[in-house]
Amino acid sequence: MMSDILPNAPTYGHATLPSCSNPGSFINAPSLSYFFHTKNLKEIQEQGVIPFHRSLKMPGITIGDTVPNLEVEIKYGNSHFCVLNFTLHDYFKNSWTIIFFHPADFTPVCTTELGKMAAYLPEFEKRGVKVLGFSCDDVQSHEEWIKDPRCKVTYPIVADPNRKIIKQLNMVDPDKKDSSGNQLPSRALHIVGPDNKIKLSFLYPACTGRNINEVVRALDSLQKSSKYKVATPANWKPGDPMVICPSVTNEEAEKMFPQGFETQKLPSGKDYLRFTCVN
């Protein structure tokens, strides 16, 4: 039993033992079953207990993290070339924001994504969402690059030629480098909430372009869920019914959703799968 190991979860060298209240927060590298059955602390230390969140967490900033308030330099506008400096939180200004990273300017996948984000900008603006791109090239490169997509690019792109920002955000791709051997950022996209925290993260390999339709769908889900106590089921799309959160009782649901809700009959006999429509 976990209580037989140690109740106060001390640290031995570089190996930290889990507390009884959260036994799943750490995993024994060679064997999970070994970890939960052994009573020998020295053996646990020697086998190398590693934190679950450090061993399996998605690279870089991810869901729940506050985006650091870094000062950045951007290329802004298309017909009029402007270079501006500001902090990320100043740009967010308590609104929803999409931040996305490109491995490099003048590359095929990145250029198609740059244009698609520009084409969808009216959809994001209707939802009160800002867009901010990141690339490891300088602002002069951005000035030329934004001419290549078919859609006019008007959202700002952060310049990071010294790779300082991608390192501070821990967004360095561990496997990809440019022709000069310089590190490249991961092909990541994050949706940032009004509290400056990451609400959703996408991480793609360099060979796979992002699906902007899915970004819009996920954004709609997040905004609905932040306003109502609902969640979106599998394959949900705007206009489809949503599910009521399990924490909401039927009595509370009747008040929260005066338009009504439908409880799906299940073989288990439980009434947790409740659908409703919200605007």
- Short-list 28, 63, 40, CA closest to 201: 63
Q: Which of 196, 205, 218, 222 is nearest to 132 (CA)?
A: 196
CB of 153 closer than 8 Å to CB of 102 = no
Integer Cα distance of 240 and 229 in angstroms = 16
**Count of other CB atoms within 10 angstroms of residue 154:** 13
Q: What are phi and psi of 119, to 5 degrees?
A: -65, -35
The pair of three-digit structure tokens given for residue 48, joined into one six-digit string: 């190398």
Question: How far apart are alpha carbons 22 and 184 in whole angstroms?
Answer: 37
Q: Which position among 110, 207, 245, 277 bears the catalytic label?
A: 110
Give strand pairing partners of 231: 243
The residue behind tokens 């650091």 is 68
Q: How many residues does the chain have?
A: 279
What are the distances in angstroms from CA 20 to CA 16, 54, 87, 233, 278?
13, 19, 42, 33, 41
CA-closest candidate to residue 60, choices 204, 216, 158: 204
Angle at 39 (CA atoms; ends 35, 45), nearest 5 degrees:
60
Our answer to whether residue 110 is catalytic in this structure is yes
Active site residues: 110
